[in-house]
């Protein structure tokens, strides 16, 4: 058996980041930047008003306060989208200004409309608050200064990052492309079409689970469906998949059975590493390259498939897509019930249900059934507790937990 960290190292080593591509902003969400982004423009591009109110010379408002108004002549008006007046504001006057409108030349502050009252048929304004220079003003480049590095390589393009890119007129970015992943499951026993089960048949579940797991990892997924346990059919599908994809994920057929065709076919046509990983569940796992395309051979037991995906395929695909952080975030959690095990030379990956409690800590209990075929229980897990070889962790003990929903 090979230990978990070593197995992960073998896999990651063969899954380097893909060659970067140039993408328009419409296609960039979720990708990882492959080059620093330098701001080409200032944001805001000009000093503008943070509030609706009156642009003034701050000194003109000295002494204004509750019950002590200062009166200024209203010399004009400027709204968002309008150019500022050409004439500088003269002392003793104010300009009605809206949020986002350019600060008129000569003005250095804005009194908010809540502190004003129009008088004299609108010709003048009474201000009941004084302001300092700069008050109510958003200066040019106060969000982003042209020439500065806005985002570094490795930054994930989130919706907010996209907004910032748009704000500096960055129309395209260099990014690592989403991995194109082919996924298939194998097994003559698997039924997908809802028909009544014949003796020996079961319903397929892994493909249905793996497709959205890949999509959640932001891969572009092609499903090849269920491929029967037939070497020629499987070989044809695998070769076609390898030609048009960056990675292949298979479910089933990688253990010691006589009909483990994935093992038989890939053993012939790919450079594979067959692993018995010292973990429970998900001991059997295969990894290799088919014409240079990484192949993740996940075990068929549904819980094992999920755990194997989490431990090997997801981190490797993230590496290919340029992510710096490959693993799920991990916290030291408090066990509210015993996580039972015995020493057996394996790391146990116990699926747990956890929640953040008032003590600021993540509290976990194991899901109700831990068998590798019992997906119904594991489906409710939001964490995987990592128990290195040894004894149970008692209630009240601490354990490292990978957070699945982060």
**Closest distance of CB 339 from ligand AMP, Å:** 24
The item of ligand AMP, Mg ion, none sharing an interface with residue 299, based on CB under 5 to 8 Å by kind, is: ligand AMP
Residue 299 within binding range of Mg ion, rule CB under 5 A: no
Q: Which of 346, 376, 206, 368 is nearest to 281 (CA)?
A: 346
Query: DSSP code of 77?
Result: E
- Judged by CB under 6 A, the residue of 18, 207, 234, 333 near ligand AMP is 207
Which of residues 95 and 279 has its CB atom nearest to ligand AMP in the complex? 279
Site string for ligand AMP, 285-314 (x = CB under 6 A): --------------xxxx------------
Kindly identify the residues of this chain, within the stretch 232-251, that bind ligand AMP according to CB under 6 A.
251
* Choices 79-87, 100-108, 245-253, 393-401; region in contact with Mg ion by CB under 5 A: 245-253
Site string for ligand AMP, 257-276 (x = CB under 6 A): x-------------------
Residue 117 contacts residue 125 (beta carbons within 8 Å) = yes
Which residues touch 93 (CB under 8 Å, ≥6 apart)?
Answer: 72, 73, 74, 75
The item of ligand AMP, Mg ion, none sharing an interface with residue 255, based on CB under 5 to 8 Å by kind, is: ligand AMP
Name the one residue in this structure whose structure tokens are 């982003």: 144
Cα-based distances in Å from 276 to 203, 282, 299: 26, 9, 11
Residue 327 contacts residue 12 (beta carbons within 8 Å) = no
- Judged by CB under 6 A, the residue of 187, 297, 315, 322 near ligand AMP is 187
Q: With helix as H, strand as E and coil as C, how does 300-350 read?
A: CCHHHHHHHHHHHHHHHHHHHCCCCCCCCCEEEEEECCCECCCCCCCEEEE
- Judged by CB under 5 A, the residue of 20, 187, 284, 366 near Mg ion is 187
Which residues touch 146 (CB under 8 Å, ≥6 apart)?
Answer: 39, 40, 41, 42, 168
Structure token pair of residue 127: 């201000």
- Judged by CB under 5 A, the residue of 104, 252, 315, 366 near Mg ion is 252
Residue 205 within binding range of ligand AMP, rule CB under 6 A: yes
Which residue's CB atom is positioned nearest to ligand AMP? 300
Query: DSSP code of 136?
Result: T
- Judged by CB under 6 A, the residue of 53, 253, 294, 354 near ligand AMP is 253
- Judged by CB under 6 A, the residue of 37, 190, 339, 364 near ligand AMP is 190
The item of ligand AMP, Mg ion, none sharing an interface with residue 206, based on CB under 5 to 8 Å by kind, is: ligand AMP
Query: DSSP code of 281?
Result: S
**Closest distance of CB 303 from ligand AMP, Å:** 9
Distance, CA of 8 to CA of 184 (rounded, Å) = 22
End-to-end CA distance of the chain: 30
Binding site for ligand AMP (CB under 6 A): 185, 187, 189-190, 202, 204-207, 251-253, 255, 257, 299-302
């Amino acid at each position: 058996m090979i230990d978990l960290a070593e197995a992960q190292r073998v896999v990651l080593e063969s899954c380097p980041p893909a060659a970067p591509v140039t993408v328009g902003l419409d296609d960039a969400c979720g990708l990882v930047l492959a080059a620093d982004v330098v701001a080409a423009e200032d944001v805001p591009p000009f000093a503008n008003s943070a509030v609706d109110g009156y642009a003034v010379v701050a000194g003109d408002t000295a002494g204004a306060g509750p019950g002590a108004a200062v009166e200024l002549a209203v010399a004009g008006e400027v709204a968002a989208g309008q150019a500022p007046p050409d004439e500088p504001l003269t002392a003793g006057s104010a300009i009605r200004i809206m949020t986002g409108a350019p600060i008129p030349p000569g003005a250095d502050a804005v009194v908010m409309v809540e502190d004003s009252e129009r008088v004299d048929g609108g010709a003048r304004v009474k201000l009941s608050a004084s302001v300092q220079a700069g008050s109510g003003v958003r200066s040019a480049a106060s969000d982003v200064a042209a020439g500065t590095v806005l985002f570094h390589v490795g930054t994930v393009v989130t919706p907010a990052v996209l907004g910032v890119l748009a704000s500096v007129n960055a129309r395209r970015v260099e990014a690592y492309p989403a991995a194109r992943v082919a996924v298939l499951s194998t097994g003559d026993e698997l039924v997908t079409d809802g028909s009544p089960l014949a003796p020996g048949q079961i319903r397929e579940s892994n493909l249905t689970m793996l497709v959205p797991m890949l999509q959640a990892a932001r891969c572009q997924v092609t499903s090849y469906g269920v491929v029967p346990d037939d070497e020629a059919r499987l070989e044809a599908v695998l070769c076609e998949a390898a030609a048009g994809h960056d990675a292949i994920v298979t479910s089933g057929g990688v253990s010691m059975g006589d009909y483990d065709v994935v093992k038989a076919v890939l053993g012939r046509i790919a450079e594979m590493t067959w692993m018995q990983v010292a973990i429970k569940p998900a001991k059997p796992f295969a990894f290799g390259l088919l014409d240079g395309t990484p192949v993740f051979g996940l075990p068929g037991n549904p819980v094992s498939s999920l755990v194997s995906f989490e431990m090997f395929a997801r981190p490797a695909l993230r590496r290919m897509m340029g992510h710096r952080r490959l693993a799920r975030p991990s916290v030291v959690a408090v066990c509210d019930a015993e996580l039972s095990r015995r020493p057996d030379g394996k790391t146990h990956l116990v699926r747990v249900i956890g929640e953040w409690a008032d003590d600021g800590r993540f509290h976990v209990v194991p899901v109700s059934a831990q068998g590798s075929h019992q997906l119904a229980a594991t489906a409710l897990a939001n964490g995987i507790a990592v128990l290195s070889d040894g004894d149970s962790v008692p209630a009240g003990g601490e354990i490292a937990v990978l957070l699945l929903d982060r």
